[in-house]
Structure formats: C-alpha cells, structure tokens
C-alpha cells in the first residue's frame, strides 16, 4: 500500500493548488498528466501509449521559493505525495508517481541565472536552469562549469544535484558533489534552508550532502551555487588506443590515475560497447579514450604521461581527430531521444544501461562475473543483441562500470520491464554488491533499485532512514524513491524506536 494516500479528492487537490499558485501554474491536461506519471525516457509501455500506474492529480509550476514552500507545507498537512521534477531526464523511475493523485512539482519555470562571479569563480542559478544554458552563459566569461553529463542540453540544476550526477569530464572537474558550493532547499514543513557559499568549512558535518543525491525524497532544491573553472579548450589533446584485453585497458587507467594525473576523460570500452561508438575503427578490440585538459603546461604534462603509459604496452593508435569528432556528437538533446523512441516503436527493441562502481582490484572480476551470469542465466539471452560495458569515471581507489545492453522485445509491451530490464538490472546490481562495490554510480536509486537500498548501505542505512524520518515524517516526498515503500518515513520495521 502506498505510504501517503490523501483523504482529499483530485478536485480538492487541484482547487487548493489553484488557490495557492493561480490557474496558470496548475496543469491538468490528461495527456500531460499521463506522461508525468513516468520518467524512463525509454519506458516501452509509455512509447506504446500505455500508462498503467497512478496518474498525478496535477503538475504545478512554482515561480519562486515561497511558492515551493506553500505547496510542500500544504502537501505535508494533507498527506499528498509530491514528486519534484525539473528537466525530466531521470532514468531510474525517480519521476514515477506511484501514489494516486500525486502532485508533480515542476521547477522549470524557476529558471533565472542569478549571479556569475568571475572573481570568486561561482555561478548562482535557480533549480530550473538548464545546464546547457548556464554553460553557454559562463563561457561568455571564458569560464566553464566543468559539468558535462550527456543529458546537458535537457537536464536542469535541481535534478542534476538531486541525482548526484556526473559529467564526461569528471576525472578532472569532479562530480556534481565536488561542484556545489552552497544551495537553497525547501523541506516538507515549508522550512527554507540556505547552505551558504564558503570555500570550505569544519563547522560540523557537511550538510550539503543531506541534499545532494536526495532525489526529491527529502526536500525540493530551489537554488544552486556551482564553482567555475577557466575554459581553455585550445589546450585539449585527444587520445585513442586499441588494446586486446579489457583488463589491460583498466590497468592503464589505474596506472595513470593513481600516479596522480587527472585527464578530464578517462575511458575504456569493451569491444561490444566499442562497436556502437567506434564501428569504423575499433577492429573488434577494446578502445581506451583519454583527453588531456587544463592550462597549456598541465595539458602538456598529462599528454606526456599518456604517451609514456602506452610506450611499452601493446596497442594500436587511433587518430586524435576521430576521438575529438566522436566527443563533439555525444550529447543527447530531445531529437535523439525522439529518434530512439521511434526506433523502439518501429523495431520492438530497446537499449538500456546499469552503472555501478567498484575498487580497482575487482573491476575485471566484476566485469567477467556480470557477462558470464547474464549469458548463463538470463532466460531470454537469445533476444540480447548487445552486451558490453565501459569504465568512464575513475578515482584514486577505483572506477565505475557502465553496463550496456540491447535487446529485441518478444513479449507484449506491458511485460517488457519484467521480462527484460528488471532481471538484467538485478544481475548487475547483485554482482556489484557481491564484489563490495556500489549498486549505483550516478543515475540515482530512483524506484528501480530500491529493493537493494538497505543492502547497499548496510549498517549506515540507519543514518539514511533517520534523515527520512526527521525531514519527511509524513512520507510525502517522492514515495518509493531511494526508500522502499515499506521503509518510507515511520514504516521502517527495523528502525530502532
């Protein structure tokens, strides 16, 4: 049973929202509400016009922090489930409205860039600013956010912070958690919290991390301050190498990173995955991609280390131009998403991903274990047309593995998620946890990985569930996200009194 079921009718919820925000800020169009009940941009049922889940009562568009506070306070008092939304590019079910008559609170009209501060290297913007717009604005100052997820043209600051997103240049610039200086968020009782912008502090735990990654399950993010970096693409050097073994590629990345170098891009693709990106030159091999970036001297030093790294390793070289061209077409706008949906509909097939992370010493074992288990156990293996992985974000202690899988769909659309995505996703998640890694590297837990939240955190789940209890005691924030429904709010059976 969903945790927060309001005694109010849809009509009273809509009437209350109209009174609070005005008619133009409340959307009740049937088709828009149906679409707002799902996120998975690859949701096979939605592409077929099937929307089986609970449909929200309304989408509301706050125009300021006070609006958000008024909506959240009202929702908490009336036990109405709230699903925060900004760019709508979530992939793990975070936007799915699993409770009847939810309110989708869409921050995309709060889209002002408030301050660009080139002296203190910060940009302050509201939650509904698209990352691409912020990036274009700061570039005019010769600066960059350094954040470049493939969803950059569509994703907005609220969602990017709420999911702990990571960009393609993360090895140099960090994930969003390294970029957020301060922020403003509204909690379900209407409290507006501002975490101030300071370079660092030792004034207790880092409370930014209560909000970063909270996936709309604790609060609504209204404003974000990001740090900025100099933009100097003229110094970029692009590298591509073909290697025989995936493990060799991973070992090369490890050597470079643990030696202290920070190429902005640091990737290795298995041959199956490489084929979909580099068909014209991968020659059936693993592809290592590296980019040296930064000041002229820093980029040159990183480039020199990369050359040295491959001097005595068996490899074939790929031209820099090919790697650079590939990068320039990597991001996803609405056009690519629409084309993929059309392809799904026409050809009954789907490509999906599950990203995890693990220590350096266990990367190859995890890769092999996933490949072997899927091949041996997945009952529809004959429908899987591609199964591969890449490592695309590396750290001093380990890296991520981004598993990719394409399958032909030989079942009715309604069953696709149960027959294909869930079992494939489950094998990858289970293996990542078995090898001591994390079940999710950057897409967030959403609703699809909640069965493993407790296992992911172990004894630290106490901290996580206490946050939910403290900040969302009525369980109205994005029910079913991060926290499995039976563990939402006060319903965690294992929590101490």
Q: Which residues bind ligand FAD (CB under 6 A)?
A: 39, 41, 83-91, 94-95, 107, 127, 149-151, 155-156, 158-160, 162-163, 165-166, 215-216, 220-221, 332, 442-443, 478, 481
Give the distance between the most distant pair of CA atoms in the chain.
71
Shortest spacing between CB 155 and ligand FAD, in angstroms? 4
Query: Which residue lies nearer to ligand FAD by CB, 302 or 400?
Result: 400
Which of 163, 450 has the CB closer to ligand FAD? Answer: 163
User: Whole-number minimum distance, CB 161 to ligand FAD, in Å?
Assistant: 7
CB of 368 vs ligand FAD, minimal distance in Å = 25
Bridge partners of residue 363, in order along the sequence? none
Tokens 């003229």, residue located: 234
CB closer to ligand FAD, 215 vs 472 = 215
Give the 3-state secondary structure of the chain: CCCCCCCCCHHHHHHHHHHHHCHHHEECCHHHHHHCCCCCCCCHHHHCCCCCCCCCCEEECCCCHHHHHHHHHHHHHHCCCEEEECCCCCCCCCCCCCCCCCEEEEHHHCCCEEEEECCCCEEEEECCCEHHHHHHHHHCCCEECCCCCCCCCCCEHHHHHHCCCCCCCHHHHCCHHHHEEEEEEECCCCCEEEECCCCCCCCCCCCHHHHCCCCCCCCEEEEEEEECEECCHHHCEEEEEEECCHHHHHHHHHHHHHCCCCCCEEEEECHHHHHHHHCCCCCCCEEEEEEECCCHHHHHHHHHHHHHHHHCCCCEEECHHHHHHHHHCCCCCHHHHHHHHHHHHHHCEEEEEEEEEEEHHHHHHHHHHHHHHHHHHCCCHHHEEEEEEEECCECCCEEEEEEEEEEECCCCHHHHHHHHHHHHHHHHHHHHHHCCCECCCCCCCCCCCHHHHHHHHHHHHHHHHHHHHHHCCCCCECCCCCCCHHHCHHHCCCCCC
Cβ 159 to ligand FAD shortest distance, Å: 2
Output 227 or 285, the one with its CB closest to ligand FAD: 227
For ligand FAD, the closer CB: 69 or 243: 69
Distance CA 198, CA 200 (A): 5
- Considering the complex, state which of residue 136 and residue 304 has its C-beta at the smaller distance from ligand FAD: 136
Nearest approach, Cβ of residue 317 and ligand FAD (Å): 27
Report the residue number, 218 or 242, with the smaller CB distance to ligand FAD: 218
Nearest to ligand FAD of 310, 332 (CB atom): 332
285 vs 442, which CB is nearer to ligand FAD?
442
Q: How far is the CB of 255 from ligand FAD (least distance, A)?
A: 25
| HEC-encoded secondary structure of 30-88 | HHHHHHCCCCCCCCHHHHCCCCCCCCCCEEECCCCHHHHHHHHHHHHHHCCCEEEECCC
Least distance (Å) between residue 125 CB and ligand FAD: 12
The CA distance from 188 to 379, in Å, is 44
Instruction: Tell the smallest beta-carbon distance from residue 88 to ligand FAD (Å).
Output: 5
Q: Which residue is nearest to ligand FAD (CB)?
A: 159
> Hey, what are 315's tokens?
């490899």
- Cβ-based neighbour number of residue 337 at 10 Å: 16
CB of 415 to ligand FAD, least distance (A): 23
d(CA 149, CA 160): 9
Minimum CB distance to ligand FAD smaller for 315 or for 437: 437
Residue closer to ligand FAD (CB basis): 364 or 453: 453
Does residue 79 contact residue 479 with C-beta atoms inside 8 Å? Answer: no
**Of 160 and 243, which has the nearer Cβ to ligand FAD?**
160
Quote the least distance from Cβ 170 to ligand FAD, whole Å.
9
- Least distance in angstroms from the C-beta of 233 to ligand FAD: 19
Minimum CB distance to ligand FAD smaller for 148 or for 270: 148
* Nearest distance, CB of residue 247 and ligand FAD, angstroms: 25
Contact 263, 169 (CB under 8 A): no
């Amino acid at each position: 049973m969903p945790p927060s079921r309001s005694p109010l009718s849809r009509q009273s919820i809509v009437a209350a929202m109209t009174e609070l925000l005005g008619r133009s800020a409340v959307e009740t169009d049937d088709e828009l509400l149906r679409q707002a009940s799902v996120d998975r941009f690859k949701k096979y049922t939605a592409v077929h016009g099937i929307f089986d889940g609970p449909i929200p009562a309304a989408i509301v568009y706050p125009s300021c922090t006070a609006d958000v506070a008024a909506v959240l306070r009202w929702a908490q008092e009336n036990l109405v489930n709230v699903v925060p939304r900004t760019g709508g590019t979530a992939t793990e079910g975070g936007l799915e409205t699993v409770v009847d008559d939810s309110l989708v609170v869409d921050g995309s009209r709060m889209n002002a860039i408030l301050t660009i501060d080139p002296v203190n290297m910060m940009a302050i913007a509201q939650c509904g600013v698209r990352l691409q717009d912020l990036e274009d604005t700061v570039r005019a100052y010769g600066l960059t956010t350094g954040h470049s997820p493939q969803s950059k043209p569509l994703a907005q600051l609220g969602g990017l912070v709420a999911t702990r997103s990571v960009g393609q240049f993360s090895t140099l610039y960090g994930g969003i958690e390294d970029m957020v200086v301060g922020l403003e968020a509204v909690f379900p009782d209407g409290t507006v919290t501002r975490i101030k912008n300071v370079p660092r502090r030792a004034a207790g735990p880092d409370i930014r991390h209560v909000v970063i990654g909270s996936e709309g399950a604790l609060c609504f993010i209204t404003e974000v301050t990001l740090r900025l970096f100099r933009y100097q693409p003229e110094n970029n050097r692009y590298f591509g190498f073909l290697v025989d073994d995936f493990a060799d590629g991973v070992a090369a990345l490890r050597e470079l990173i643990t030696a202290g170098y920070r190429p902005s891009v640091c990737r290795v693709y298995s041959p199956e995955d490489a084929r979909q990106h580099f068909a014209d030159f991968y020659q059936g091999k693993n592809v290592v991609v590296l980019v040296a970036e930064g000041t002229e001297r820093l980029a040159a030093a990183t480039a020199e280390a990369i050359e040295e790294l491959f001097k005595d390793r068996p490899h074939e070289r790929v031209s820099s131009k090919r790697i650079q061209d590939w990068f320039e077409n990597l991001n996803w706008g609405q056009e690519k998403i629409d084309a993929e949906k059309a392809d799904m509909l026409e050809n009954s097939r789907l490509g999906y991903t599950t990203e995890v992370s693990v220590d350096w010493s266990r990367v190859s074992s995890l890769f092999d274990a996933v490949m072997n288990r899927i091949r041996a156990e997945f009952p529809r293996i004959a429908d899987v047309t591609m199964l591969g992985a890449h490592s695309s974000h590396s750290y001093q202690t380990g890296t991520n593995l981004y598993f990719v899988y394409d399958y032909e769909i030989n079942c009715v659309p309604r069953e696709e998620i149960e027959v294909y995505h869930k079992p494939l996703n489950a094998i990858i998640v289970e293996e990542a946890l078995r090898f001591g890694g994390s079940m999710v590297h950057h897409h967030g837990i959403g609703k699809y990985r909640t069965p493993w939240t407790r296992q992911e955190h172990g004894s630290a789940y106490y901290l996580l569930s206490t946050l939910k209890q403290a900040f969302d005691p009525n369980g109205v924030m994005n029910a079913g996200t991060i926290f499995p429904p039976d563990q939402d709010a006060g319903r965690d059976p294992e929590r101490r009194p």
